[in-house]
Structure 1
Amino acid sequence: MVKLHNQPNFSRCGVYNLSSEIDALDARLISLLYSEPRIGVLESSRRLGVARGTVQARLDRLAARGVIRGHGPDVDPAALGYTVTAFVTLEIRQRFGHDPVSTHLKAIPEVLEAHTITGSGDLMCRIVARSNADLQRVIDRVMSFEGIVRSSTIIALESQIPYRVLPLVAAAAAGPGDR
């Protein structure tokens, strides 16, 4: 398995240095790691046709810049029995702020993500449940915190484009003039 040195903890929506450009080799390395997360540095260097030290240096640089984060398995909630996906917009009492609400949401396993948003709500959460009845239980638990005023829920019927990054990696490597 590829080892990253000094990997910082970046948020998915964090602010990054605008010089976070990647080149074609970075894109090929990311694509390889995405398709085979358990591949080692030596095997990566063999497949990419570059020195082992080059692969390790690239990995370290990509990790330090927050381009590559973690090596956990890609888990499908539906395979665990959580077949219902919903997006919940939350309005919070402003005197509470986002931090206490986020702490509350982190304690609910079915809340997979939460993002501060613009528009009519304050936070957007992606949650999963085992059924519609279970979804009601999860929403009730979310709403049990006094810092949350109201919620609006949208149930996803089907995923048309699942989470993906490889097209973005290819576009980033191509540069702004080649898109």
Structure 2
Amino acid sequence: MTIDELDAKLLSLLTSEPRLGVLECSRRLGVARGTVQARLDRMIAREVITGFGPDVSPAALGYGVTAFVTMEIRQIAGHDPVLHGLARIPEVLEVHTITGGSDLLCRVVARSNPDLQRVIDQIVAVQGVLRTSSIIALDNPVPYRVLPLVADVPRHRGGRS
């Protein structure tokens, strides 16, 4: 197990109130400031915590359309050349290698449906992309979250299920 109950409480606190400082976290958790700092440092080193930046809404930046694009790629040279090409397209927010009938899954944003066509055209122009399929997201009723996993850690402590 990568985190224990205190780590879970600290992560829950920082997830619900990300602007809290180490001193306030230590006060609320009832532990020394050095303990909180050491726990944060350890979780950063183990890549449990992957960032502290603000979550930015693409819609607030004018990108109101979200789509998921699957693609088949020419795998002679592997994934890397395609991944490098996709990384140069600002509207490609993330890319996952996947199993099944396609090779990659991308979350992309666009300003409108016609703009989505422009983004898809850029994706298709990447050397090695053979075919794409797109699904437009209508709503995001359960946004990306990890707090339920963090809250579940004490229950599964020690590898028990």
Scaled by the length of structure 2, the TM-score of the pair is 0.94
Which structure 2 segments of 5+ residues have no match? none
Which secondary structure does the structure 2 equivalent of 1:37 belong to?
Answer: coil
Letter in 1 for 2:41: D
- Residue deviations 1:121-144 (CA, integer Å, cap 9, x gap): 100000011100010000001111
Q: In the alignment, what sits opposite 1:46? A: 27
Q: In the alignment, what sits opposite 2:119? A: 138
Which structure 1 segments of 5+ residues have no match? 1-18
Q: In the alignment, what sits opposite 2:45? A: 64
Scaled by the length of structure 1, the TM-score of the pair is 0.85
1:70-85 equivalences in 2 (<5 Å)? 70-85=51-66
Is the 8 Å Cα contact of residues 72 and 130 (structure 2) preserved in structure 1?
yes
- Residue deviations 1:53-82 (CA, integer Å, cap 9, x gap): 110111111111111111110111111111
1:94-133 equivalences in 2 (<5 Å)? 94-133=75-114
Cα offset, 1:146, TM superposition: 2.5
Q: CA RMSD in A?
A: 1.3
Which of the pair has the greater relative contact order for Cα pairs under 8 Å at 6+ separation?
2
Q: In the alignment, what sits opposite 1:6? A: none
Q: Which whole-Å CA distance do the structure 1 matches of 2:153 and 2:111 have between them? A: 37
Cα offset, 1:30, TM superposition: 0.5
Letter in 1 for 2:68: F
Aligned length: 159
